Structure 1
Amino acid sequence: MRIPGPERQEDGGLSAVVDAGGLHRYQLRMHEAYGPVVRFQLPGADSAVSVADPVLLEATEHLDKRPEELFAFLDPLCEAGNLQVLPADEHTPWRRLLLSVLAGRPAHERHFARFTELARERADRWDGREADDEPVELQKELTALSLRMICGFAFGEAGADTDADRIVVAFEEVLTEYLGRLYQVPRDDPRSAERAEEALAYLRATVDGVVAGHRSGGRTDRSDLIGALVEAGESPARIRDTVMMTLLAAHHTTGVAVSWTLHLLGRHPDAAERVAAELDEVLGGRSAPDYGDLRRLTYLDMVLKESMRLFPPGPYGARETTEDLALGPYEIPAGTTVFYPFWAVHLNPAYWPEPERFDPERFTPREAAKRPRLAYVPFGIGPRGCEGAALATVEAQLVLAVLLKRLRFRPAPGHEVTPVERFVLWARDGIRMTVRPRASGAG
């Protein structure tokens, strides 16, 4: 059976994506028009098949290859081969090593106090603002906060002397330059490329210094990323690449997820009050949770999940078939790009009634049991899914708990929030909100 989809275009589909307002919106438009499986052109892949049905997605879950051309923009950040497209025999042990650190409770608990300290510093800064201060731009400030968190997680005690502020500035310099190239953003500064290269060299040199500190100490700590990589005997280049990719993925995921969650709570004050009441009940007079408290913050967890359903930090993913694949009534030939439109999956009305409505009750255990397993996939699926999912969730829950225990967030008057694709699902003009101390329960 022939897969439905739009007519082929001479520009490889670029104009259709632009006309829709970005790939994230194009995926919604396509699936609304053609159904759960669509064949279309994708810049960087002449022919792709997009799958928005969670049951059909299960047939693709085993795929363990990413299309190299789609991820080629990350090549300059890697010295030992683009980590996003490593062949399976290299990727599997590398992934196993990352999961041993990023997904492990011992590592989370070891870094939790530092994460809490950073979240409290952010809350202190916002709590001390004057009533007539300008609204806060959440995305910018919260991605910087999450980058500081992941730097500590990656570098560990051997990186205690690193300049966190300079690392944040350098990484943002690199990220702005390479994402600008990907999305063909005009650059007015003739030195932007040169500064990005200088920043990248600084970041790699910083990682080298931390690695040297681990090795000179005679022991490594597997609860931080570099320590685990050193102990595993990874090459210096692979360690540098891994840290760069981890910083890229982790700081955007957490910062964006928390920003969208506060945006939604600001527009649904009843839900915000319920979160605050739960925090008061669980934490009492404390201003921040312990690691064990996170499991008791059940409504906060439901709110975070509903936020990532409506605004998944990564709006899509992609794999490549290495052999012919049966997908429902369709046959997908080997070498085809399989596109994962996570946003369209999360807004599929067959599994999410009134899909654009904010409703954390969708994530009660009873409601969640009614849906297919892959109806909610904010961190991807299969052997190339996000290794840092557990860590990002802990960070996001902690930051939300600390901020919402002490502060209330309201939409900035007249500010429109529009999601756009910028490697993650980003708000085009930021997420601006007024921030005020809570009248009670500040702890």
Structure 2
Amino acid sequence: MSYGGDVSVIPGPPARGDGGLHDIASAGGLHAYQLRLHAEYGPVVRFELPGAASAVSVADPVLLEATAGINKRPEELFEFLAPLCEAGNLQTLPADEHTPWRRAVLSVLAGRRSHEAHFAGLAALAGDLADRWAERAGAGPVELQKDLSALSLRMICQYALGNGVDDPEEVVTAFEVVLTEYLGRLYQPADPGTEEQGRKRAQEALTYLRAVVNGVLASARPDGNDLVAALAAAGMSPARIRDTVLMIMLAAHHTTGVAVSWTLHLLSRHPAEAARVTAEIDQVLADRVMPEYADLKRLPRLQMALKESMRLYPPGPYGARETTEDLVLAGYEIPAGTTIFYPFWAVHMNPQYWPDPKAFIPGRFAPEEAARRPRYSYIPFGLGPRSCEGASLAMVEAELVLAILLRRFRFQPAAGHDVVPVERFVLWAADGIRMNLTPRSAPR
């Protein structure tokens, strides 16, 4: 496979033999390191990446398009998810297994009929959070990430498990324990003497979650939970169905809540943009507090603000694939077995396609503006056959939550609180996003 030019050596920093850990730490994080690398070496960079024998980062959207068809993830980079999947690591399934699995999942998560069927239930959950916030208005700032991430998990539990869960709060608690153990250990070591204890708690929580999902599967009817029914109709084993449900919960947990949190953070710091979005919501909803599914298409300013937020703060800042054959990209030879690293955040900050890239300008996503940019200049959910299956559902959830919250509250940043992004499994604010809420007047 070749994409033009005479073959030459891929530029990059000298190897240190430590998986790049020193250079990443010196730069202040992987994102800052990627920006530095691409500024110095160009759109294609060879670098050391922990868990990869060789890695090449690609930050140009035109070149990304040339790699978008790759349907293999590097197994070592996704090995941390293996304990959650007894029926094989769903993130690294071979292409022949992954394609039918993805098709079955997309039939539900990306389906308009399914979104409409669940919309009222999702709206009720968001409305419950707004009610709780209204009760405590004036009692100090709320911590957006904490509350909205919990809402995100409740939403995906309802979507994936329906009404088959007797104690959704216990499910939320158990899942938090699993996330802390299996994902938290990626970013910080356990306190001395607590590693075995944490592992035991996580295993107990995971056993509980599997039992809950197994119970839903045992009582599921073909006309019941559409996710379970679609996976069963695709011929998947009960173990793979259970693992799929758990993996969807993992992927969706935090993601929607984090995207909404960053959007509210940016709107609170750009009052003129916030006023435009709020005026649009007021006009569309008229005398209603809760939106209907059809209303979302009538909220383009809200959608543009959300997209611009995810450009500046993509919920998942990175992706990776593994080449299955030799290729030449922009004149550089990339052998089979190489990890292709997708720095979504660096792509979104490319000044060639995003003038004044650090500025919050929702108008960038007006249809006529978006049409001028390459397809992969904006990739908050990844690209190609391994992109996020829940992308369209996440957008529906985020727009719904934003419409409800902006209809009911004005958001102001808490004084003296710095919001600093940090790279974890999702792009998180290191010390939270704290906001003062003022209830808006009820619609007349």
CA contact (8 A) 1:102 1:388 kept: yes
| 1:53 paired to 2:53 | no
Q: 2 CA distance for matches of 1:98 and 1:244?
A: 13
Deviation at 1:229, TM superposition (A): 1.8
Among candidates 167, 172, 186, match of residue 171 of structure 2: 167
Question: 1:3: Cα distance to partner?
Answer: 1.2
Alignment deviations for residues 336-359 of structure 1 (CA, whole Å, 9 cap, x no partner): 100000000000000000000000
Aligned letter for 2:68? E
Is the Cα–Cα contact under 8 Å of residues 66 and 84 in structure 1 kept in the other structure?
yes
Distance 1:24 1:173 in 2: 27
1:312 maps to 314
CA-to-partner distance for each residue in 1:153-175, whole Å, 9 max, x for gaps?
10124x1x431101000001000
* Rounded Cα–Cα distance in structure 2 between residues aligned with 1:186 and 1:442: 50
Residue 352 of structure 2 corresponds to 350
Computed over aligned residues only, the root mean square deviation of the Cα atoms, in angstroms, reads: 1.3
Determine the C-alpha separation between the residues in 1 that align with 2:277 and 2:407.
Answer: 9
Once residues 105 and 438 of structure 2 are traced to their aligned partners in structure 1, the CA distance between those partners, rounded to angstroms, is 39
1:224 shift after superposition: 2.9
Equivalent runs, 1:291-330 vs 2, <5 Å: 291-330=293-332
Distance 2:229 2:159 in 1: 10
SS of aligned partner of 1:331: strand
Paired with 1:164 and 1:417, the residues of 2 have a C-alpha distance of: 31
In the other structure, the counterpart of 2:405 is 403
Deviations 1:88-136 (A, max 9, x none): 00000000000000000110000000001001111111112141x2211
Contact kept, 8 Å, 1:220 with 1:228, in 2: the verdict is no
- Which range moved further: 5-14 or 186-195? 186-195
CA contact (8 A) 2:419 2:430 kept: yes
Instruction: Measure the CA separation in 2 of the matches of 1:375 and 1:210.
Output: 40
> Does the 8 A contact of 2:317 with 2:427 survive in 1?
yes
**What are structure 2's unaligned runs of at least 5 residues?**
1-7
Partners of 2:335 and 2:235 lie apart in 1 by 39
- 1:246-281 CA-to-partner distances (Å, cap 9, x unmatched) read 001112221110011011011111111111100110
Deviations 1:48-83 (A, max 9, x none): 100000011111011000000000011111101110
Q: CA contact under 8 A between 1:24 and 1:420: conserved in structure 2?
A: no
1:211-230 to 2 correspondences below 5 Å = 211-214=217-220, 217=221, 219-221=222-224, 224-230=226-232
Counterpart of 1:7? 14
What pairs with 1:53-202 in structure 2 (closer than 5 Å)?
53-131=60-138, 133-157=139-163, 159=164, 161-187=165-191, 189=194, 191-202=197-208
* TM-score (norm. length: structure 1): 0.96
Query: Any idea what SS the aligned residue of 2:328 has?
Result: strand
Counterpart pick for 1:371 among 367, 370, 373: 373
The alpha carbon displacement at 1:329 in A equals: 1.6
Give 1:309's aligned amino acid.
R
Shift of 1:441: 5.4
Q: 1:1-40 to 2 correspondence within 5 Å?
A: 1-40=8-47
Contact 1:321 1:338 in 2 (8 A): yes
Matching residue's letter, 1:177:
E
What per-residue deviation string (whole Å, max 9, x for no partner) do you get for residues 385-414 of structure 1?
000000000000000000000101111111
Corresponding residue of 1:209: 215
- Greater CA deviation, 100-109 or 190-199? 190-199
Distance in structure 2 (CA, Å) of the matches to 1:151 and 1:201: 17
The amino acid across from 2:399 in the alignment is: Q
* 2:5 corresponding residue in structure 1: none
Matches within 5 A, 1:264-303: 264-303=266-305
Aligned residues: 435
CA distance in 2 between partners of 1:162 and 1:327 (Å): 53
**Aligned-pair distance for 1:227?**
2.6
Q: CA deviation at 1:209?
A: 0.3
Q: AA paired with 2:427?
A: L
2:337 aligned residue (318, 335, 338): 335
Deviations 1:184-238 (A, max 9, x none): 3333645221111110000000000000111xx4x343x6322322333321211
Q: How many angstroms apart in 2 are the aligned matches of 1:195 and 1:367?
A: 50
Specify the code of the residue in structure 2 equivalent to 1:354. D
Residues 137, 437 of structure 2: 8 Å contact kept: no
User: What SS does structure 1 have at the residue aligned with 2:428?
Assistant: strand
**Which residue type is aligned with residue 28 of structure 1?**
L
The residue number in structure 2 matching 1:235 is 237
Give aligned-pair identity as a percent.
68
What one-letter code is carried by the residue in structure 2 that aligns with 1:355? P
Q: How far off is 1:442 after superposition?
A: 4.6
Indicate the larger mover: 55-64 or 31-40.
Answer: 31-40
Contact 2:137 2:439 in 1 (8 A): no
Between the aligned partners of 2:285 and 2:239, the Cα distance in structure 1 is 44
1:139–1:256 Cα contact (<8 Å) kept: yes
- TM-score w.r.t. the length of structure 2 is 0.96
